[in-house]
Structure 1
Amino acid sequence: MKNFPVICLFIMGGILSFDATACRADIYRYVDSHGVMHFTNTPTNSRYSFYLKESPTKRPGPKSLDDIIERYAVANRLEKALVRAVIKAESDYNPRAVSRKGAKGMMQLVPETAREMKVSDPFDPEDNIRGGTRYLRKMLDLFNGNLDLALAAYNAGPGAVRRHGGIPPYAETRQYVQRVKRFLQSYR
């Protein structure tokens, strides 16, 4: 048993150095034929390519994205599945997403909306989801709980919904409302 001390040291080193909060994973992505980005830490086929080396966060606060979503869904009287569906449709869960119109983060807040919702860092998932869920709640309240109109307003702005007396005749907005509702059904 000459190797016993080495084996014990290896096992103990592995046990002592393991910290579940410090786990790391590489992130891979691919863009499908509809322009939707898909991210994973476990690529299942060759369409995925290396995207980002993930590192552990050292910030205090909720332990997971799911915790953040739940916290602000509850705080804003929203269905958790709806928040997840909006995030999926807006950014495919990419906290660094930026749209052509300057919308930023997971819930794609334009600078004016971010200021209105007091979001100081739209790329911070918690700050973005806090502001995005407040804005979504505001749109639902503004349109008397009508999900289609609230989603259209989230996408095109409440003024466009009012001007058109309903979902604006913009292909992007109409597709957005349907996409969020499909994701909502899958998350329920």
Structure 2
Amino acid sequence: MSPVNSLWFKWKSLRLPWRSSFLVGTDLSGNTFWEFKDHLNAGRFRRIVKCDPKTHFSDVQVSPQWHQWLRYVRAEPPSLQEQQQDVIRQIQIKELARLADARWASKPSYLDMPKTQQPAPVTNTADATLSSPETKNDTPQQEVQKEEAAPPKEDPWAKAPAGGPSENWQPDAWSPSATKR
């Protein structure tokens, strides 16, 4: 801040009796915060923020400390040291969040595909290179006989009854009854 601006801010912050508005402070973004006497409510001061006229209203950022002061949640305006400490705290929180995200990303997720490949299914083939050591001496006819010799698997639904208790159920017709008065 230039010396001229500093002197101007000191002059505007003096609470002189003829002055209607007083400069309370500035934030790190260059916004100025003012207090002025409300003519309708003589005992109350109104609080406002004035930003650079070149800044669009949607781009104005007010820190939480100054927002509290504007809404009368805190009585004293925040100091420059308090605002600087808050900026340092925000930087530290962002760094901790970055480290937590990196730690979270390094852990495997149950939603990801497994990295190990599944073993290939066992198949019976006549090729000696693909068959297992037990079946190397077997001919294709012997393999077919082994498959036929195995007892067929029983179907558990074959013994189930054909129809259940609700198979032939039909709803009753609706007949309105007289209402009680």
TM range (shorter): under 0.3
Q: TM-score, length-normalised on structure 1?
A: 0.22
Task: Report which of the two has the higher share of helix.
Answer: 1
Task: Work out which structure has the larger RCO, using CA pairs closer than 8 Å and 6 or more positions apart in sequence.
Answer: 1
Q: TM-score, length-normalised on structure 2?
A: 0.22
